[in-house]
């Protein structure tokens, strides 16, 4: 998830924490649809880490607003799934 926040977009910029959280949820759903077991503890750990990174961004004074969604970022989804 740290990668998503640092440089996850195709333009080399990081995602907003809410976007990274949405990608995490999509990865979990995609894995479960493919009959991959995703433990609740693993998902909770990833969410906790993501929230911690979001707090660090805020403390550093970095704010990320709404932007155009990246369409067709299947490689990013696979990267999230591997990391989770």
pLDDT digits (tens, 9 = 90+) for 19-77: 778 888 888 889 889 999 888 888 888 888 888 888 887 788 776 655 544 555 667 66
Q: Examine the pLDDT at 80 and tell me if it is beyond 80.
A: no
The band of 15, judged by pLDDT with boundaries at 50, 70 and 90, is confident
Q: Give me the long-range contacts of 30-37 (CB less than 8 A, separation at least 24).
A: 30/77, 30/81, 31/81, 31/84
State residue 72's pLDDT score.
Answer: 56
pLDDT tens, 47-56? 888 888 888 8
The answer to whether the beta carbons of residues 45 and 39 sit under 8 Å apart is: no
State residue 68's pLDDT score.
Answer: 44
């Amino acid at each position: 998830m740290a990668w998503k926040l640092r440089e996850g977009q195709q333009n080399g910029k990081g995602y907003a924490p809410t976007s990274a959280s949405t990608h995490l949820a999509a990865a979990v759903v995609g894995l479960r649809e493919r009959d991959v077991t995703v433990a609740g503890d693993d998902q909770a750990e990833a969410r906790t880490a993501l929230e911690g990174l979001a707090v660090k961004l805020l403390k550093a004074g970095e704010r990320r607003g709404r932007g155009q969604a990246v369409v067709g970022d299947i490689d990013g989804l696979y990267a999230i799934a591997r990391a989770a």
